[in-house]
Amino acid sequence: MTKKPLSNNKTARKLTRNEKQRITIANLALIPSVIKDYIDALIKAYNPTFTYRLKAEFFYYIITTIIKRQNTYENKALENIPVALNATILRGIKSDYNEYIDWLIEQEVIFKAENYVHGLSSNKYCFADFVLPSLKLDSTSEIVEMKALESSKVIVARSIQESDVYEENKHLLKWFNDGLEVDFEKAVTYIEDLSYHEGEVVDLTHKKVHWNHQISTLHHKAFYATRNEESDFRLHTVLTNLKKIFKPFVTYEGQELVGYDLKNSQPFFLIFLIDSILNSNSRIDNILSKIYSKKVYNTFMLQKLREVLSTEDFQKEYEVFKTWVLNGEIYENMESIMNPKKRLGSYFANKYIARKKVTEKKKMDNVRALMKGVIFTLFFSGVNTRNSDYKTFKKVFPNLVTVIELFKKNANANFSKLLQNIESECIIDFVSKKIAKEYPEMPLFSIHDSLSTIESYAHVLEDLMHKYVFEYTGLMPKIEEERWKKFDYQIDYKKKVELHPEWY
């Protein structure tokens, strides 16, 4: 039986100093009913004997954590990929946590990936073939409470107000309350009927497991919030993991949501980064110090950066690239230098799949999407990539690419972390806080580089987002409006049903 979620409207008490040093996990979690029923039946039948007293909730926590991590941005395909579990959190909950993982493996609920290398990589887990068919046949989920997992090292937050990031992000997180709703029945029907996704008629069964989990989490108001200063520093919530195709079903107090995205955000923040170094803007210093050691940045990196940035050749390249970005036409202009070719009426991009260690061709709907992929390859691939698009771009902008590669010198991931930290400080810690202070009554939600509100405040948000992004960066941004109810994919889907009813 589904347990009733605790109220999210309770006043949160302040944490003590000792509590602040403890790890915080959310009390409410969503687990597929078929897995929970299977685990409960096995526990009842065999009563597994562990070092310390058995807590079934720990099994549920492991399962829900795997699903949540499979629902991340990195797993765009929403496949059953192996994901790492946080050993520090697991050990804080139960010192004998490996007994629980081993038991789930023995019962063929999960399995451990074989690419683990001691000292070099973490153990990774995904669902076993034994349970996958059941997940695909029955997508219902159940809310479970994790209060039993509280320990001297772990706090179980009864609501989002008790999460360890609530106070510093209260201006955004306070709106995760009973007013935030999803039209659950229509969303479920939409998932059941969907067989066409991202340009292809494909087997969507495992994606649907994740999609149902996303909308069920929102429907049951199992709200959560995380923000890790050691990684991207982005604010992650139930909305940041929600697939765009479900936006038309989401409302706040019955009103439509309207979002404003910072166009070309990653290239935009690259321009801000370079301008800040050129102009010795102290605003960037704190972010750089989080990603790079003072020794690395102040000696080698800063010296090399200033050396390249001061050259005439770089200045010429940078003027062109900066104009493209600030005019919001970077992808359109890149088409002229990349000269993409259509095959069989479509564009195709070479995409390296790390877990398979192969390069696959991915069909792209339009040339803009193709060029966006080139930028992401430029920003997030390794400096030794063999990607042909990367090489073509580097021929046209060799000095700009040299600057980007300097930020990747010690680790490829450092550059993406740097841009994401800049984005987060700008949008979360500056822009949204300024807006919330000026209009405290305006509902405000963030999804990385975008902010959303209800329709009656849309014009206010649009004006203020322009104003405060400019105030933070000194650059005039291009802001795109996105009406959640009129999301293009929903419209396209209806047209596809009319044109190809046999697919549905």
pLDDT in tens, 266-283: 999 999 999 999 998 888
Domain boundary among 367, 394, 409: 409
Q: How far is CA 380 from CA 201, 267, 373, in A?
A: 29, 12, 10
Q: Over 60: is that where the pLDDT of 4 sits?
A: no
pLDDT tier at 344 (50, 70, 90 boundaries)? low
CA separation for the pair 497, 203 (Å, rounded): 17
Give the dihedral of Cα atoms 127, 133, 139, 145; nearest 10 deg: -40
Return the higher-pLDDT residue of 9 and 241.
Answer: 241
pLDDT in tens, 114-157: 765 555 567 899 999 888 888 877 778 899 999 999 998 999 99
| pTM, rounded to two decimals | 0.84
Residue bearing tokens 């990367």: 390
> Burial, 382: exposed, middle or buried (Cβ in 10 Å; 0-12, 13-18, 19+)?
middle
Q: Does residue 447 come out as left (phi exceeding 0), alpha (psi in the -120 to 50 range) or beta? A: beta
Contact by Cβ (8 Å): 35, 222: no
CA separation for the pair 262, 451 (Å, rounded): 9
Domain boundary among 394, 409, 424: 409
Residue 241 lies in a domain: no
A 10 A CB-CB count for 215 gives: 24
pLDDT tier at 351 (50, 70, 90 boundaries)? low
Q: Over 50: is that where the pLDDT of 5 sits?
A: no
Residue bearing tokens 């991207």: 232
pLDDT in tens, 460-478: 999 999 999 999 999 999 9
DSSP character at residue 128: -
In the prediction, which pLDDT does 1 show?
A: 34
Residue 458 lies in a domain: no
Q: Does residue 382 come out as left (phi exceeding 0), alpha (psi in the -120 to 50 range) or beta? A: beta
In the prediction, which pLDDT does 11 show?
A: 44
Which residues does 316 contact at the CB level (< 8 Å), separation at least 6? none
Q: Over 50: is that where the pLDDT of 79 sits?
A: yes
pLDDT tier at 388 (50, 70, 90 boundaries)? confident
A 10 A CB-CB count for 367 gives: 16
Q: How far is CA 263 from CA 275, 327, 450, in A?
A: 18, 10, 9
Query: Over 213-281, what HEC string results?
Result: HHHHHHHCCCCCEECCCCCCCCCEECCCCCCHHHHHHEEECCEEEEEEEECCHHHHHHHHHHHHHHCCC
Residue bearing tokens 């003590």: 16
Q: Over 50: is that where the pLDDT of 10 sits?
A: no
CA separation for the pair 330, 397 (Å, rounded): 13
In the prediction, which pLDDT does 483 show?
A: 92
- 144: its two tokens: 């479970």
With a pLDDT cut of 90, the percent of the chain lying above it is 51
- 440: its two tokens: 């405290």
A 10 A CB-CB count for 98 gives: 14
Residue bearing tokens 């000792």: 18
Residue 435 lies in a domain: no
In the prediction, which pLDDT does 369 show?
A: 77
B/e letters for 38-52, b = 16+ CB within 10 Å, e = fewer, are bbeebeeeeeeeeee
In the prediction, which pLDDT does 121 show?
A: 64
Residue 110 lies in a domain: yes
Quote the distance between the C-alpha of residue 18 and its chain's center. 30
- 118: its two tokens: 């001691």
Domain boundary among 409, 438, 465: 409
Where are the alpha helices (H) located in 386-487, listed in sequence order? 388-396, 398-407, 413-424, 432-438, 458-473
CA separation for the pair 91, 373 (Å, rounded): 39
CA separation for the pair 504, 501 (Å, rounded): 5
Residue 173 lies in a domain: no
Which residues does 114 contact at the CB level (< 8 Å), separation at least 6? none
Residue 502 lies in a domain: no
In the prediction, which pLDDT does 7 show?
A: 37
In the prediction, which pLDDT does 116 show?
A: 53
Which residues form the domain of 95? 24-158
Q: How many residues does the chain have?
A: 504
Q: Over 80: is that where the pLDDT of 423 sits?
A: yes
Q: Which amino acid is at 305?
A: L
Contact by Cβ (8 Å): 143, 163: no
pLDDT in tens, 209-257: 888 889 999 999 999 999 988 788 999 999 998 888 899 999 999 999 9
- 94: its two tokens: 């139960």
CA separation for the pair 325, 484 (Å, rounded): 25
Specify the number of domains making up the chain. Answer: 2
Which residues does 314 contact at the CB level (< 8 Å), separation at least 6? 308, 399, 400, 403
- 320: its two tokens: 């062109």
Please state, rounded to an integer, the average pLDDT across all residues of the chain.
84
Residue 482 lies in a domain: no
Residue 127 lies in a domain: yes
pLDDT in tens, 13-65: 454 545 456 888 999 999 999 999 999 999 999 889 898 999 999 999 999 99
CA separation for the pair 468, 454 (Å, rounded): 19
